[in-house]
Structure 1
Amino acid sequence: MPDSCQCVVCLELDSGDRRTIEHINEYGWSVVMIPEDDAGPGWAFTVGLRHSFDSPEIAMFGLDVELMRSCLNTLGAEIAAGHLARADQRRDDVLEERLVMLKTIDASWHSTLFGTALRFYQCPPLPFLQLFWPDGQNRFPWDEGYTLGELQPSLWIPKAEHPAGSWTQLPS
């Protein structure tokens, strides 16, 4: 076998990868959480929705990771029940009576933010949607007067064109 390839048997899975696979086998998806640190806000994303339900994976940014996990699990359960997620969709079944919005994530962000998903699928690019939550005035990052700064990156914009900030400084 060429040195650049690895078969499934030879892959070295760490405990996080094994846990992800166990969750996917049990629930249909898993949620990976990256907590906030000195470099910037945290984020969370699903792995397995594509495999189990032919759905895009979902990512969320800027809230407490446990709250984001809860939101992604709620949306995952809705997807499993047949209520599919799609780009430019508004939903009220995810975040306690708050309207959320889904937008397509440009593939230029995948290697920077979703390494676990890329390892799992071994076949980029993947369909990913970003789940946006509104500020206290029910405005989203693309709305005039949005007040939460860069807690939520605008990942529908290619990475090279995204305004500079903590999200564009993450290594690829």
Structure 2
Amino acid sequence: MTISPAIQAYWDQERREIIEHIRRFGVHLVYVSNEVGEECTCCAYLRSVGAERDPVPTEDTPENPPFCYTVGLYGIGHPELLVIGMERDACGTVLNALSGAIHVGRDLVPGEQLTVAGTDLLVEELPNPGQILFDANGFYERPPMASLPALQLTWADGRGRFPWEEGHESGPWPQPRPGEFRADLPG
């Protein structure tokens, strides 16, 4: 597979940004949303240098919810963290707060319940991180079949009910259970 100079330049810049965020903040967050009309940073960069890439017009749907994950926790001996189906600002608040706690010695374990910024969370092991955490695996040079470990943070609705509990209100996007979701790379 031949990689164009424009794509290689983008990847180099992205790697530098990830390193800078990890140095400054202890973690880099990757938020993935496929809203129609929203150009991803890679496509925007390629367009700015005159290279072509066909954007894949998809929408956030129950099968394709937005998600956010960390890059950098694996480097300090902790699994990366993933949140699915939560609004961008809320994801950032939850993941930054937990990443900060991890950096001062907190370890999250599957089955643990906690509350962050008023949101009840359940920590669950993610069985398929290689199908979701593309930037994290790329940063640590891990192939999908030997992915770094990750934990999915399942969040409760405003009344404290988790997705499997009766009366749970999912909001705009339901949360898939760990192992039921995989991200798709653009074509």
Is 2:130 the counterpart of 1:110?
Answer: yes
Q: Residue by residue, what CA displacement relative to the aligned partner does 1:43-91 show, whole Å, maximum 9, x if unpaired?
A: 110001010x211100111121122012100000010111111111111
2:85 aligned partner, one-letter code: G
Determine if contact 1:50/1:57 at 8 Å carries over to the other structure.
Answer: yes
Match of 2:110 in 1: 87
SS in 1 for 2:147: coil
Aligned with 2:121 (options 81, 100, 103): 100
How far 1:36 sits from its partner (Å)? 5.2
Is 2:119 the counterpart of 1:119?
Answer: no
1:118 aligned partner, one-letter code: N
Q: 1:9-158 alignment to 2 at 5 Å?
A: 13-35=11-33, 37=35, 38-40=59-61, 41-51=65-75, 53-92=76-115, 94=116, 96-107=117-128, 109-111=129-131, 113-123=132-142, 124-148=146-170, 151-155=174-178, 157=179
Determine if contact 1:34/1:65 at 8 Å carries over to the other structure.
Answer: no
TM-score, normalised by the number of residues in structure 1: 0.75
Q: Residue by residue, what CA displacement relative to the aligned partner does 1:7-46 show, whole Å, maximum 9, x if unpaired?
A: xxxx763433321111112222111111252143211100
1:22 aligned partner, one-letter code: E
2:123 aligned partner, one-letter code: L
Determine if contact 1:35/1:64 at 8 Å carries over to the other structure.
Answer: no
RMSD across aligned C-alpha pairs, in angstroms? 2.3
Q: Which sections of structure 2, spanning at least 5 residues, go unmatched? A: 2-7, 36-58
2:184 aligned partner, one-letter code: P
Determine if contact 1:46/1:59 at 8 Å carries over to the other structure.
Answer: yes
- The verdict on how the C-alpha distance between 1:39 and 1:23 changes in structure 2, with shifts beyond 3 A counting, is same
How far 1:144 sits from its partner (Å)? 3.4
TM-score, normalised by the number of residues in structure 2: 0.70
Question: Take 2:156 and 2:34, find their aligned partners in 1: how far apart are those partners?
Answer: 19
Count of aligned residue pairs for this structure pair: 148
Determine if contact 1:17/1:116 at 8 Å carries over to the other structure.
Answer: no
